Structure 1
Amino acid sequence: MTESEIQKQIIEYLNKSECKVWRANAGMVRVGKRTLKLLPKGFPDIFGVRLKDGKFIAIEIKKPTGKLSIEQIEFQDWAMKQKIIYGVAYSVDDAKKIIEGD
């Protein structure tokens, strides 16, 4: 299963549960002659809110063999110091465990 397939399944699951989440696009994209800067490199693939308490959710999606980039590790280090819900998910079950934690 590809990372984008896992991501789609997780977004569908979370939006049907007690969350509202969106897919994030990070980096830069070229549109004609213009370069648009998106979210910073390392920003997680999914972000949103846990509706029962309003906590911010940030989840990085990886396929089973995937590894975090340096920028993703830096975001992870920062996120773990904050009062947000953060984790790396390799499956819908992983995402479920992440949002159920505090």
Structure 2
Amino acid sequence: MNLQELNAYAIAGKVDELNLISLEGGIYLIEARIHGAAYPLNDAHGQALHLRSVEHAREVLHSFPRLPFNLIHTSVHDEMCGLGASAGENLKVPIAFRTV
């Protein structure tokens, strides 16, 4: 899903929430949750849209209607210990969609 498609879904009220996923190395990705399914946000080339920070995500989404917005920190602890990732270990924190 690209920005224009995501904006159209958001305006139509079909987006349940947006999740900003924090990855190791200071990379952030956005996924839209629509009817329980996750749709990653892609750039113009169909690749995952990489963001630099929470503020960068807010800048990209500035023209969107307000939506529930969460910061997701994935747990690397299990992977570091060789046990495999567990979806239940992610930390999900609601954050403000806009700073003002």
- Normalised by the size of structure 1, how large is the TM-score? 0.21
- Normalised by the size of structure 2, how large is the TM-score? 0.21
Per residue, is there more helix in 1 or in 2?
1
